[in-house]
Amino acid sequence: MAKENKLQVEAIKNGTVIDHIPAHIGFKVLSLFKMNDSNERVTIGLNLPSSALGAKDLIKIENVFISEEQANQLALFAPQATVNKIESYEVVAKLPLSLPDTINAAFHCPNTNCITHDEKAVESSFRVITKVDDIQLKCKYCEKVFSREIVADSH
Ligand code: CTP
Ligand code: ZN
């Protein structure tokens, strides 16, 4: 697989490589990094062939290192992704991804009547609920339960 990647998307000098993202989740993952104002080079591979996943997305962000919070959010969408820290062209670390118990201040509650929309000082907070393969988020304030897709889309 390493050979495949190296042929498909150029190696980077310093930064973060997020590999083994399930196909079609790449754009969502990219939005977690809020790269809108950044001038760093980002290379994206979508629907790359992967022996493990069939097809995968891959994101390389130069000179940006993933925070623990971002790793937690990433775990929600792509728990099997691998996050590689690159320094001087070498993989110096592979960060473990673990599903967090709670996600704070990352997403808006999809319930428009939720107090988190009225009180600007109240940060959103969701408890992560896992049911077999399905991940749901329960708002700490209105106690409504949403699929992770719905929460992510009301970003
Ligand atoms: N990579 C990169 N730039 C570098 C070094 C590595 O973009 N200078 C990328 C590789 O292309 C790969 C990922 O970082 O997508 C991880 O590299 P490596 O650990 O060498 O690959 P694998 O052995 O395939 O890793 P794993 O099986 O753990 O995912
Ligand atoms: Zn709510």
More confident residue, 105 or 58: 58
Q: Relative to the alpha carbon of 151, which ligand is closest?
A: 2
What pLDDT does residue 155 have?
56
User: For position 4, what pLDDT does the model report?
Assistant: 52
How many domains does one find in the chain? 2
At which of 52, 67, 95 does a domain end? 95
Instruction: Answer yes or no: do 77 and 14 share one domain.
Output: yes
Domain-terminating residue out of 48, 77, 95: 95
Which of 9, 64, 84, 95 best tests ligand 1's pocket when mutated (most atoms within 8 Å of CB)?
84
Are residue 11 and residue 74 in the same domain, yes or no? yes
Say yes or no: 42 and 27 in one domain. Answer: yes
Contacts of 82 (CB under 8 A, 6+ apart): 18, 19, 20, 94
pLDDT at 7: 54
Q: Are residues 7 and 29 in the same domain?
A: yes
**Average pLDDT of the chain to the nearest whole number:** 88
Q: Is residue 140 annotated as involved in ligand binding?
A: no
**Same domain flag for 58 and 19:** yes
Q: What is d(CA 80, CA 20) in angstroms, rounded to the nearest whole number?
A: 7
Among the bound ligands, name the one nearest to the CA of residue 9: 1
Q: What is the pLDDT of residues 18-62, one digit of tens each?
A: 999 999 899 888 887 777 678 899 999 999 999 988 999 999 999
Name the residue with the closest Cα to ligand 1, atom 29.
82
How far, in Å, from the CA of 83 to the mean position of ligand 2? Answer: 30
Q: Whose CA is nearest to atom 23 of ligand 1?
A: 2
Q: Which domain holds residue 69?
A: 2-95
Q: Of the bound ligands, which one is closest to the alpha carbon of residue 122? A: 2
Say what the pLDDT of residue 2 is: 54
Q: Do residue 86 and residue 129 come from a single domain?
A: no
What CATH number should be reported for the domain holding residue 8? 3.30.70.140
Question: Are 21 and 84 contained in the same domain?
Answer: yes
Q: Are residues 87 and 115 in the same domain?
A: no
Q: What is the mean pLDDT of residues 111-115?
A: 95
pLDDT digits (tens, 9 = 90+) for 126-150: 999 987 778 899 999 999 999 988 8
Q: CATH number, domain at 112?
A: 2.30.30.20
What is the ipTM for the molecules in this complex? 0.94
Q: Kindly state whether residues 81 and 121 are assigned to the same domain.
A: no
Q: One-letter amino acid identity for 4?
A: E
Atom of ligand 1 nearest to the CA of 58: 15
Per-residue confidence at 83, pLDDT binned at 50, 70, 90? Answer: very high
Residue 63: pLDDT over 80: yes
pLDDT of amino acid 32: 79
> 41 and 59: one domain?
yes
Residues 114 and 88 in one domain: no
Instruction: Tell me, yes or no, whether 116 and 69 share the same domain.
Output: no
% of the chain surpassing 70 pLDDT: 94
Look at the chain and count its residues: 155
Whole-number Å distance, alpha carbon 31 to ligand 1 midpoint, is 22
